[in-house]
Structure 1
Amino acid sequence: MIYVFKTSVETEQDIWKLKIGLDNLLPQAKWNFDLDDCDRILRIDSQTENTHAVIKLLDDRGYDCEELPY
């Protein structure tokens, strides 16, 4: 399933700061950021639903994150 989040992540450096946390939280998932999108989208392709954990991870590291409806 694909999960889509609006974030405040702005740079590749921000993504590198989140990479280890996202990889640990989502070991079997594929994820990526679209920084060209006005909502700085985080897309996650995962068999398990981890939306609250993803939001908390980004929030704990100082980024805004909210799931977008599909």
Structure 2
Amino acid sequence: MIYVFKTSVSSKELVHRLKSQLDKIFVDGKWNFDLEDSDNILRLDVSRVQRDETISYLKSQKIHCQELH
């Protein structure tokens, strides 16, 4: 399933800092940030469990993450 989120991640450095944990969450899924988009989009191609785990992780890092429908 593909999920799309508006985030407060605005730099490649922050993406790099998040990468190792996101890679652990998404062993079988895919994720990417589009920092060129004004909403700093995060796209997830994952299961629902991974989606929920990702939201929890980002919030624990004080990162805004709002699902777009």
Q: TM-score, normalised by structure 2?
A: 0.90
Structure 2 residues without counterparts, runs of 5 or longer: none
Residue number in structure 2 paired with 1:29: 29
Structure 1 residues without counterparts, runs of 5 or longer: none
CA drift of 1:51 comes to 2.4
Alignment deviations for residues 1-54 of structure 1 (CA, whole Å, 9 cap, x no partner): 2111110001000001110111111111111100011110000112x1132211
Kindly report structure 1 stretches of 4+ aligned residues shifted beyond 2 Å: none
Residue number in structure 2 paired with 1:52: 52
1:53 partner amino acid: E
| 1-structure distance, mates of 2:42, 2:8 | 10
Q: TM-score, normalised by structure 1?
A: 0.88
Residue number in structure 2 paired with 1:15: 15
SS in 1 for 2:4: strand
* Amino-acid identity (%): 44
Which structure carries more helix by proportion? 2
2:10 partner amino acid: E
